[in-house]
Amino acid sequence: MMEKFNRIVYFIILLIFGWLLSACQPNTKNIENSAMNQQPYILHFGQQGFKDFAQYNLGRTDSHPSGADFRELDFTPPNLGQIKVENSTNSLVIDHVFSVLGTSFSKDDGIQKLSINAGLNKEEFVSPKQAYQGYVELMKRLNQAGWKNYVVRYDPRIAKEDNIRYLMEGHDVIDLSYIFNDEEWEKIINSLTTNSIGYRLYANGIILGISLNRTEKNKDGREQYMVRYAFQTARYNQRNLISDSSEMTAQQLEQKFKSNLERYKRLRETEEKDAIAQGYRIDESYVDPDVWQYAK
């Protein structure tokens, strides 16, 4: 009788222990939901940018004797960050972030530049098919956020029809809206000596340079990619093109800006004539964005 009682007690203890153990284990579905519901770190330009970096406290702050101010956010794999760069209707969410560097050259202007290093995919090494899918998702996100190709004022306005040829000859992509198919992607990424594709984009007073790099390919054919985002305000960009702009009066700055426009126009005309001679078509419908409204 006592032996039977002991068996029952033992069985009950096992049931209770099993229930406690399962209750302590994280639910797979909950883990997936948690990852999907990850809240991004929100970063602004300007004075608000200083406050953003201060509240997250995931890196360090450095002030250079030249007056430059650097703010950092760092993330350690596998817990990579998600960053939302605020830019009104053109705000952009960036996944798989390793690091962020915010730079200010003027206390009054706050954060003027954001440099972000991120993976193309969640995993470090992926198959070529997964890498291509990561590229497609990135392009869709940029287009949905309303970013457009930006042509520097002294560069030729190459027509979108010559997009791939222009890229293969060592230039940036000139048509963000066109997403390469898988065959084009494979040919491009394997043919370019740098294994790198570049974009120069613009939206709402912010200029964005993107470098999509295949950094390694192992013996199993799996690939590693890094995406580098270089944001800068149009105000910083334009004033940086003018020597001693910080010491100029408003009138002097405007005069210099306008004289630069004339010089850039002449340079572009020359570049476009050369491009036409090489068989390129020119997109005369491209209109330069009004950056003076931010620079003045």
Per-residue tens of pLDDT for the chain, all 296 residues: 444 434 444 444 434 434 433 333 333 333 233 334 468 999 999 999 999 999 987 667 777 766 789 999 999 999 999 999 999 999 999 999 999 999 999 999 999 999 999 999 999 999 999 999 999 999 999 999 999 999 999 999 999 999 999 999 999 999 999 999 999 999 999 999 899 999 999 999 999 999 999 999 999 999 999 999 999 999 999 999 999 998 999 999 999 999 999 999 999 999 999 999 999 999 999 999 999 999 99
Q: By residue range, what is the domain housing residue 162?
A: 38-295
- For residue 27, the 8-state DSSP code is P
DSSP H/E element including 192: none
Nearest Cα neighbor of 122 from 143, 98, 141, 142 is: 98
| Domain assignment present for 62 | yes
Tell me what pLDDT residue 175 has: 98
| Domain assignment present for 24 | no
What distance in Å separates the CA atoms of residue 218 and residue 131, rounded to the nearest whole number? 14
| Domain assignment present for 30 | no
| Domain assignment present for 222 | yes
Tell me what pLDDT residue 6 has: 43
Alpha helices, DSSP H only, in the chain? 2-24, 28-36, 47-56, 128-144, 163-168, 182-191, 234-240, 250-277, 292-295
What distance in Å separates the CA atoms of residue 116 and residue 225, rounded to the nearest whole number? 14
Considering its fold, how many domains does the chain have in total?
1
Predicted TM-score (pTM) of the model is: 0.86
| Domain assignment present for 2 | no
| Domain assignment present for 245 | yes
To the nearest 10 degrees (0 to 180), the angle between helices 128-144 and 182-191 is 100
Nearest Cα neighbor of 83 from 52, 124, 54 is: 52
Nearest Cα neighbor of 201 from 161, 162, 145 is: 145
What distance in Å separates the CA atoms of residue 115 and residue 241, rounded to the nearest whole number? 19
| Domain assignment present for 133 | yes
| Domain assignment present for 48 | yes
